[in-house]
Chain A
Amino acid sequence: MATALQLLLNGVALGAAYALVALGFVLVLNATSAVNFAQGDLVMAGGLLAVALAPLIPLPGIVLLPVVLALMAGLGLLLAAAAYLPLRRRPPVSVFISTIAVGIILQNGASVLFGPEPRVAPPLFGDGIWRIGGVAVAEQSVAIVAVAALLIGAQQWVFGRTQLGRRLRATAQDPEMARACGVPVTAMILTTFAIGAACAGAAGLLLANRYFVTPTAGGDLILKAYIAVTVGGWGSVPGAVAGALLIALFEVGVSSVLSYPAALGALYATLLVILVVRPQGLFGEAVRRRA
């Protein structure tokens, strides 16, 4: 029982971090209809940024978090200016390629700046472990879940309850109509990239403490984000979160019964079944349905 609870806790913490990765991915997807293949490398950049800032700000990670969010938002703006805006009237494949290029630049830049060694970021509050009834509850695991829930909730509030959110949603749904109604579409797209990169930064900081970070870590994370969004529903924020939790369920839960390679195989088999039975994903595809 204790083992099952332990695995559940680990799975939820991992899923929460994956959800933040997928969230940034789906935001940009909704706003631009473009797949940002640099999202995984932005997560890696966020993790290494936290590693670099830690000696400069020798305080718990929670103090670093706002700094990482702000700097990563700036990087998101640069990404939009360099890899999206000049190509937005070109076929979508142009943006695919430009974001892949940015990802490679980030990866190699990180290798040059930080070296290839795995690094560990500071914990959000502390790296202690609470032992509750035979279950080892890592402070960082609780912090990951809390911060992910907070950021996802804040994002839902901004998108659902504020004028900025309405403008962002209008831009995502129909940029031409939004522009005709006076919405500054380009500014909204830039804002979306900034929020998406900030989410990546938060995920990077959270992941880099428990699971370390290397310059090549982004490739695997973008694959996870892509699967999460496909499973959850192309463009659905709740779907991305559900998809991320499903991946963690397979990686932690299923692999505790089957082997890890078999669990991954089962995950991809499940993905195929979902694509066949419910091609729009578990939570549908809100933008396309409206269109």
Chain B
Amino acid sequence: MRRAAFLALGFLAALPARAETLSFPVLVPLTGFLSLEGTSQRNGAVLALTEAAAKTEVIDTGTSPEAAVTALERAAGNGNVGAVAASMLGTQMLAMLPLAAELKLPLVTVSGTASITEQGNPWVFRFFPGDAVTKTAHARYVVEELGRKRPALIYQTTAYGQSGKAHLEPAFKALGAELVFEEGVDPAAKDLLPVLTKALAAKPDVLVLHLHSGPTALLLKQAAASGVTLPIVAGSAMHQPSTAALLEPVELKGVCAETAASPISGGSPGMDAFTASYRAAFGKEPDAFALGQYDGMRMVLAAVRDGATTADDIRKALAGGSHAGLAMTYKSDGKGNMAHSAVIVCYDGTSRVPALVKRYDDVAGVVK
């Protein structure tokens, strides 16, 4: 009964409405293990919506799929929803997708979970490159730019880490490089010296990391203390300013990372303006998740500005159009994957702000 009532309200929300009355709820994980990334996501969405004076509300989805579904039901019942800034947690997205299709509400996310755009659901739009893109760029930088052929991979045992590993292995193989060592590490591991010791014993010529923020910093700290001089190319968690803040600049010397974008590295007046606005609004540094969600909501708002008055109008605009965002140009591949570029950033050992050293556009990776 409750579900039926929510669905009815959702269908009402999908009825034609004046664009300025549309609301854009932000349903993201602000508590739990993904709160760091979820907060970035919220901030990016809220900044875009605030700049456009659009109606919004923020609901914390925590980390359970049930909480995300309840949040979507609640948001749909609160007014004429145009689109939803939806959780970057893959399990929550998978739970929300059927309901979004029933309610006919576009979900705009930066979730990296490949399967969310493999469900044949036309209501999901991902404004962050998936592992198929970023890990291909990651491996290409290691092999093509650094000329390394004996990578050692240390990854997280979480779904995030497993997905990265699953994409890195074939990417390296395709480039003629074989992993000489690979091992998963629990995010709760406090001392990463054992895995680092084993990795070095395999005599690699480069260390490849795919770890969350804290473990990335922990491993780099221990590598610096151990006097490791090998190049280290980390996953996107490294580019987050909060990760670099845990380390001294000298500990970052020679470290590179893949990411969708690095707002604090600048690159264009628009990017600089975004970074300044973000700092003023939230008192912290923006990362690629914030920028991806910002770009996604800006594309939604552009659709409204161009005449979209319903959620379905917005879906059509997202599915068929392209958008020159700050991080990249977004265009759907027919499945809702909007982002197809990745960049490599590197630290020079004198500051915590990385420099953009390589850009990969229109990357076609293998979707796992």
Which 5 pairs of residues, A with B, have the shortest CB-CB distance? A116-B35, A256-B194, A117-B242, A116-B36, A220-B188
Closest beta carbon of chain B to A211's beta carbon, Å:
5
Q: Which of A21-74 contact B (CB under 8 A)?
A: none
Q: Whole-angstrom distance between the alpha carbons of A120 and B242 in the complex?
A: 11
> Does chain B have a CB within 8 A of A10?
yes
Closest beta carbon of chain A to B285's beta carbon, Å:
10
> Does chain A have a CB within 8 A of B361?
no
Q: Whole-angstrom distance between the alpha carbons of A216 and B194 in the complex?
A: 24
Closest beta carbon of chain B to A206's beta carbon, Å:
11
Q: Whole-angstrom distance between the alpha carbons of A119 and B157 in the complex?
A: 22
> Does chain B have a CB within 8 A of A214?
yes
> Does chain A have a CB within 8 A of B115?
no
Contact residues in A for B32 (Cβ distance below 8 Å):
216
Which of B39, B189, B217, B227 makes the CB contact (< 8 A) with A251? B189
B214/A214 in contact, CB under 8 A: yes
- Given the interface pairs A117-B36, A252-B194, A260-B195, the reply to whether A111 lies near B189 with Cβ below 8 Å is no
Q: Whole-angstrom distance between the alpha carbons of A7 and B225 in the complex?
A: 13
Give per-residue flags for B22-35: 1 if the beta carbon is below 8 A from chain A beta carbons, else 0.
00000000111101
Contact residues in B for A10 (Cβ distance below 8 Å):
191, 193
Closest beta carbon of chain B to A4's beta carbon, Å:
10
> Does chain B have a CB within 8 A of A264?
yes
Give per-residue flags for A243-275: 1 if the beta carbon is below 8 A from chain B beta carbons, else 0.
000000001110110011100100000000000
User: What interface size band does chain A fall in?
Assistant: 35 or more
Which of B39, B157, B195, B246 makes the CB contact (< 8 A) with A115? B39
> Does chain A have a CB within 8 A of B198?
yes
* Between-chain CB contacts (< 8 Å), 26 pairs: A3-B197, A6-B226, A7-B193, A7-B194, A10-B191, A115-B284, A116-B35, A116-B36, A116-B39, A117-B245, A117-B284, A119-B246, A136-B225, A207-B190, A210-B190, A212-B214, A214-B36, A214-B214, A215-B35, A216-B33, A251-B190, A252-B194, A256-B193, A260-B185, A260-B194, A261-B186
A129/B225 in contact, CB under 8 A: yes
> Does chain B have a CB within 8 A of A227?
no
> Does chain A have a CB within 8 A of B218?
yes
Closest beta carbon of chain A to B12's beta carbon, Å:
33
Q: Which of B323-341 contact A (CB under 8 A)?
A: none
Give per-residue flags for A207-229: 1 if the beta carbon is below 8 A from chain B beta carbons, else 0.
10011101110001000000000
> Does chain B have a CB within 8 A of A118?
yes
> Does chain B have a CB within 8 A of A196?
no
A221 and chain B: residue at smallest CB distance = B188
Contact residues in A for B185 (Cβ distance below 8 Å):
260
Closest beta carbon of chain A to B269's beta carbon, Å:
28
Contact residues in A for B214 (Cβ distance below 8 Å):
118, 212, 214
- Given the interface pairs A120-B246, A260-B189, the reply to whether A255 lies near B35 with Cβ below 8 Å is no
Contact residues in A for B259 (Cβ distance below 8 Å):
none
Q: Which of A1-15 contact B (CB under 8 A)?
A: 3, 6-7, 10-11, 14
> Does chain B have a CB within 8 A of A155?
no
Contact residues in A for B225 (Cβ distance below 8 Å):
129, 136, 138
B198 and chain A: residue at smallest CB distance = A256
> Does chain B have a CB within 8 A of A98?
no
> Does chain B have a CB within 8 A of A94?
no
B226/A211 in contact, CB under 8 A: no
A216 and chain B: residue at smallest CB distance = B33
Contact residues in A for B198 (Cβ distance below 8 Å):
256
> Does chain A have a CB within 8 A of B213?
yes
Q: Whole-angstrom distance between the alpha carbons of A108 and B213 in the complex?
A: 20
Which of A108, A118, A138, A252 makes the CB contact (< 8 A) with B242? A118
A11 and chain B: residue at smallest CB distance = B191
Q: Whole-angstrom distance between the alpha carbons of A214 and B183 in the complex?
A: 24
Q: Whole-angstrom distance between the alpha carbons of A21 and B319 in the complex?
A: 53
Most buried by A among B188, B213, B218: B188
A252/B39 in contact, CB under 8 A: no
Contact residues in B for A118 (Cβ distance below 8 Å):
36, 213-214, 217, 242-243, 246
Give per-residue flags for B171-209: 1 if the beta carbon is below 8 A from chain A beta carbons, else 0.
000000000000111101111011101100000000000
A17 and chain B: residue at smallest CB distance = B190
Q: Whole-angstrom distance between the alpha carbons of A14 and B191 in the complex?
A: 8
Closest beta carbon of chain A to B62's beta carbon, Å:
10
A212 and chain B: residue at smallest CB distance = B214
- Given the interface pairs A10-B191, A11-B191, A260-B186, the reply to whether A212 lies near B197 with Cβ below 8 Å is no
Closest beta carbon of chain B to A127's beta carbon, Å:
8
Give per-residue flags for A108-152: 1 if the beta carbon is below 8 A from chain B beta carbons, else 0.
100100011111100000000100000010100000000000000
A111/B186 in contact, CB under 8 A: no
Contact residues in B for A7 (Cβ distance below 8 Å):
193-194, 197
Contact residues in A for B194 (Cβ distance below 8 Å):
7, 252-253, 255-256, 260
Closest beta carbon of chain A to B236's beta carbon, Å:
15
